[in-house]
A and B are shown apart, each in its own frame.
Chain A
Amino acid sequence: MEPFRFSYVNIGNTMLQQLTNLSDKDLISRARKLKDQEAEGVLLERYSHLMVAVCLPYLNTAPGRSADDLFPALLQRLSNSLKTQTIHKVNEWIHYNVKAIQDKSDRNLPFFSTTESREIQQVENRIEHAAMNQKEQQQLIAQMNVVISQLPAEEKHFLTQFYLEQQPLAQLAGSKKYSIDKTRQILKNAKQHMASILMKQTYEQ
């Protein structure tokens, strides 16, 4: 049996293990502030399987485009973008870049999160913050109940069935005889609608 040998590879592995426990936000900040390419690599590896899955139709349909060309180019693009752009949600950022590299006309446009996405994120942050304060949490719950009651009946139904009654997506779609995609879209719109009302109320206060 060979004795244990200390090397950079081992150091790299331990570092990788530590970095994999960090959140996306921490990895981005490490990659930016400390120019830590390991953190950048860990972040990209975390989403690499999703990139592959999303790119598969393009690889099969686009002529003369192989995985050996596409993925290094995509990773390089993401690496460059990481250093310059503001990233609130990594999944949105990767999705935007995957679509941009597939559609060459939008290649040079930088990524900006949409207003709806920012509103949802602000509400998410607010709920996270309220988790530490019982009073604030109760106020927020009351406010959300009021907002849900203001939503259209279908959106209200889907939200209550999916989030409060914990009905699976397929079952919910089947109950209304909608496709899963349409059901998802209704839920997404209802959520965005709710977030915009909540944020409007916050600004008015």
Chain B
Amino acid sequence: MSSNLENNDKILKIFSTVRCMNRDQLPRYLDGRLTDLEKHLLEQHLVDCDLCFDALQTLSQAKYREQYQPLSVSISQYIRNSIRKVSTTQKVERYQRLEQKKESFLIYFWVVAALALTAGGVYLVQQQNKLKTLNPPQPIAAAEKVPEPITASQRQPVAAPPTETASAPATQAAVTAAVIPPAPVADSLRHRPAATVVPAVKKDTLKAAPATPKPAPVKDSAKKTPPASEAKEEKSTLQPAKETPAPVAEKVEKKETPPPPKKEKDDDDNKKADAQPTGTDEFLYKAAMVYHQQGDLNEAISRYKHLTDSKSKYGELSRYQLAVCYRSKGQTGKARRMFKEVVRMNGPMKEKAQSALDSL
């Protein structure tokens, strides 16, 4: 049984791999100086290997055997010598390549670092410029100026009530006069050397300004209306506010906002009995418009909201603008409600509000 198993294992030897004869084994095989096992293994290999078998056949002849030994040594030496030469040169080349790689890596590193620094610097400068452009000093200054005229104009109601209470017709005349003459506006513009940019729309806003009672006393309010000097004072207080919405006004037209002069004309025609628009409302409205044009809708809305309770024309206008703000914010419900309120007010903005309502 055990011999059968051994035989079974031996059958695998038919295809076992044996290496070629080495430099030592070849003469030993020829001389018969091998063990039985070693000899059998080599013979197993000889069955397959033509190279070893041919070598053995050749070396079995004495004349070749003499030549074999020196030639074998010399070819081995030849190969080793060529390896050494190659390996030395290879190592020198490898070392040089490594050094070159290191140098090139350092160069790349510094180039990349320099590029990154310059890019960072440029980016910072651009950011600074962007910040400057986003926060222009002029509108802010204008917005900051608003409270001053308000405080100044707040005096007006104190001084104005007597005029209103004393003579309603006089005030009406003053209002109508404020609409009619362009000349005083021009005068007022002349008086302002500080006004840098005065677009055409600004004239409208100036026309809309209620603080032009100057012609009123000239025409028919000799009895009771405040003197021209007072009116001039009022103008002077209003002037900065008139300047502020100047860059805004053009944009207002683009945004379908109602042009103030027409409304004012209508207001003046239709609402003679209405309360005269005060300077506070005007300044608030203009300040709100500034914020509106700057895109600060929340601030504009809060400012417009202050004006919604106003009984003057700015009440209606501010509601309309409020609706526009809500619409641009995407709050269509609120915008619709506001437009409806404007329509209900049955004022000069009714048609525009209705059309806006229809388009919503």
Contacts and interface: CB of A to CB of B under 8 A. Distances in A.
Interface of A: 8-9, 11-12, 15-16, 37-38, 41-42, 44-54, 56-57, 59-60, 67, 71-72, 75, 90-92, 94-95, 98, 120, 123-124, 127-128, 137, 140-141, 144-145, 148, 159, 162-164, 166, 168-169, 181, 184, 187-188, 191, 194-195
Contacts of A169: 43, 46-47
10 contacts: A11-B87, A38-B86, A50-B51, A53-B26, A53-B55, A72-B78, A137-B12, A141-B8, A162-B43, A184-B47
Contacts of B84: 8-9, 12
B50 interface: yes
Is chain B's binding surface mostly helix, strand, loop or mixed? Answer: helix
A144 B68 CA distance: 41
Nearest to A184: B47
Nearest to B82: A41
Interface stretch (B13-21, B104-112, B194-202, B272-280): B13-21
Nearest to B13: A163
Contacts, number: 162
Nearest to B8: A141
Given A75-B78, A140-B12, A144-B12, 6 more contacts: A52-B72, A56-B67, A57-B64, A71-B78, A144-B14, A195-B15
A41 B54 CA distance: 23
B36 to A, nearest CB: 8
A16 B82 CA distance: 13
Given A57-B58, A145-B8, A164-B11, A12 B83 contact: yes
B71 interface: yes
Contact of A53 (B68, B86, B90): B68
B52 interface: yes
A191 B11 CA distance: 11
B79 A41 contact: yes
A188 B49 CA distance: 10
Contacts of A16: 80, 83
Contact of A187 (B26, B47, B76, B90): B47
